[in-house]
Structure 1
């Protein structure tokens, strides 16, 4: 049975999440991490003791390292705060005014959460209006990962991925990586905040930048895929709303989903995640996933099995071709495969499923870090072939 709500205590609130406990625990963690690193550097020498015997020594050590990093972040309850300042990005950074009243409709409205000014980073640079008018050019609207608790789409966390996907799609591609509002940090904004921001960015590309939706590719990895799919469903739903400005436009060219979070009724259930067949070969952990689900969907406010955050449970018809990639060794593998199957079964839908055997979560982004550079490149190449073939 699909879980309806995440436990309220999924958000870290212990003594380690506030001072002086925060600082004390960091000091302890430094010593503990050194000991753990020494232990695993020896323990993983025999391939039979690694998370998977097929993994290399580097893959085993780096995946364990990333798992410990997320474990520490969860212990400390650390979340990221965002800024609308451009920093050293210059005109690659854009501040986008909130979508006009009426653009966010129905499930994307809230009595307490309203559209706000957001930011985004252009890769490789801010395109000219003339470039955007040329019919052969593509714009990728990308939503980063981070459980709605971390990351910003800026070069320090998304630059290499943005550049790799742009290169595979060709020199006629630019991408806008959206800095959507997070459910943590100094301005915690749960559902539908990030979804409102997706509409704001989509309206910005169409109305301010003059991009035809038929040349826009939606893309998201992990939690970012939740936002991409929510926007896709929203664009379908508004076709039935008389007078909605977005209803008159054609649909996006394609939607790319990498290790997508498409079933929060599973991710918000720590018992189910802990019992998953791939829990030992992934770097995500049940407490972290439940925390992200709780931050996005507060209990008694947003159901985890809502169509907009658990599309695996609510397939729908869409004219937009969808590319779905997942790692065979990640916790989300079964839910993503199920999502691809139910979406493919809807008459008229076009869905391509691409499973990479033996790799953990979000190799689309962290492949080179963890030792799966070849697989990371294959994922980007497969996504580019899909887009260029539709």
Structure 2
């Protein structure tokens, strides 16, 4: 059931409460954070600590008011003009097994943004390298805005030496028709779209952050199991949400660094309540929803990034070890000191730009070794 604050006039009351009460509290906290002893992790900088707390409060606001940012993404896509592109659904044979369409959940047209610009239709793209990235958002918040793309794409275009970057916004969970497997259907649609333009699979990297890191794992698992499309050259996971349970909010509170990170447990609980299938988690679906403890063999090399100051750090380490333990898998896990969740998108605010650049350089070195 949605919180009372997600409906008017209670939403307005919550906003007023935040402005009148939470803002002064945050100002007092900022004074406390000047002293390392009073920080959730004493060796974190004041800048990172304050940033994480401010973002956490905004994420809590999103969860309590069910503010999913879809309108912001749509406005951003509209302003992007020719950099915005739509991906049409493919043939029904692309969506089989756990992704098979039902009367309620069907593949749909989805869109995204190109960086630095769209590929010229008149050119042969077989030698171009492209990174197809899916933004996080706990399955319920749309994060495919141009600002996020501009934060991430410079690393992709320079450190990863890619020619293009595509920020692909899948459907977020907001009703029966967008529960699992809707988002994964969209990932297949986007990947098929990239290949249909003329890109060779060996020149395509798929990438995802947070909940979309989870989805990117699901995409590779699906392609391995069904062979409906050729496999990409590699996969990058940035702070992936690998341990997804029906009680995600409570489970998150048991993790390391919870109170120092940007995520609020309420956003994770909203995510699973909206995303998990109403019919329950069968043994076939569970690995797609929660990849932790469900490793699989893949010929696709995985680069996994996490921050040592994020709440998901322990589960990401375990997932990376489990995938590495499967014979034939190629996995590199890169951890960034002092980094909170999804630091690749907040490097300017946290002062971690150089550290994130090193992570991308490590990713490029790793994929070069696999070529």
TM-score above 0.5: yes
**1:43 and 2:45 correspond:** no
Structure 1 residues 98 and 152: alpha-carbon distance in aligned structure 2, compared to 1, 3 A threshold: farther
Pairing 1:16-165 to 2, within 5 Å after superposition: 16-81=5-70, 86-111=77-102, 112-129=104-121, 131-135=123-127, 137-165=128-156
CA RMSD in angstroms, aligned pairs only: 2.1
- From 314, 323, 335, the equivalent of 1:334 is 314
Superposed CA deviations along residues 161-198 of structure 1, whole A, max 9, x for unmatched, are: 1232222112x5201111111103x8961111111111
- From 201, 220, 243, the equivalent of 1:232 is 220
CA positional deviation for 1:277:
2.4
- 1:3 aligned partner: none
Alpha carbons 1:145, 1:220 under 8 Å: kept: yes
Alpha carbons 2:126, 2:200 under 8 Å: kept: no
Using the alignment, how far apart are the partners of 1:277 and 1:36 within structure 2?
25
Alpha carbons 1:297, 1:303 under 8 Å: kept: no
Instruction: Name the stretch that deviates more: 123-132 or 251-260.
Output: 123-132
Using the alignment, how far apart are the partners of 1:350 and 1:130 within structure 2?
36
Using the alignment, how far apart are the partners of 1:332 and 1:302 within structure 2?
22
Q: What secondary structure is seen at the aligned counterpart in 1 of 2:288? A: coil
CA positional deviation for 1:57:
1.6
Superposed CA deviations along residues 291-344 of structure 1, whole A, max 9, x for unmatched, are: 112211044434697111212221111111100111112111111111111111
Alpha carbons 1:330, 1:359 under 8 Å: kept: yes
Q: What secondary structure is seen at the aligned counterpart in 1 of 2:241? A: coil
User: TM (normalized to structure 2)?
Assistant: 0.92
CA positional deviation for 1:359:
2.0
- 1:219 aligned partner: 207
Alpha carbons 2:213, 2:237 under 8 Å: kept: yes
- 1:5 aligned partner: none
Pairing 1:196-345 to 2, within 5 Å after superposition: 196-207=185-196, 209-239=197-227, 244=228, 246=229, 249=230, 251-265=231-245, 268-302=247-281, 306-345=286-325
Using the alignment, how far apart are the partners of 2:82 and 2:179 within structure 1?
29
- From 169, 172, 196, the equivalent of 2:160 is 169
Using the alignment, how far apart are the partners of 1:61 and 1:130 within structure 2?
49
Instruction: Name the stretch that deviates more: 175-184 or 146-155.
Output: 146-155
Alpha carbons 1:125, 1:174 under 8 Å: kept: yes
Structure 1 residues 57 and 152: alpha-carbon distance in aligned structure 2, compared to 1, 3 A threshold: closer
Q: What secondary structure is seen at the aligned counterpart in 2 of 1:355? A: strand
Consecutive unaligned residues in structure 2, runs of 5 or more? none
User: TM (normalized to structure 1)?
Assistant: 0.88
Question: Following superposition, which runs of at least 4 residues in structure 1 exceed 6 angstroms of deviation?
Answer: none
Q: What secondary structure is seen at the aligned counterpart in 1 of 2:191? A: helix
CA positional deviation for 1:106:
0.6
What is the number of equivalent residue pairs in this alignment?
Answer: 366
Superposed CA deviations along residues 23-46 of structure 1, whole A, max 9, x for unmatched, are: 122112111232122211211111
Using the alignment, how far apart are the partners of 2:266 and 2:366 within structure 1?
35
- From 168, 174, 181, the equivalent of 2:171 is 181
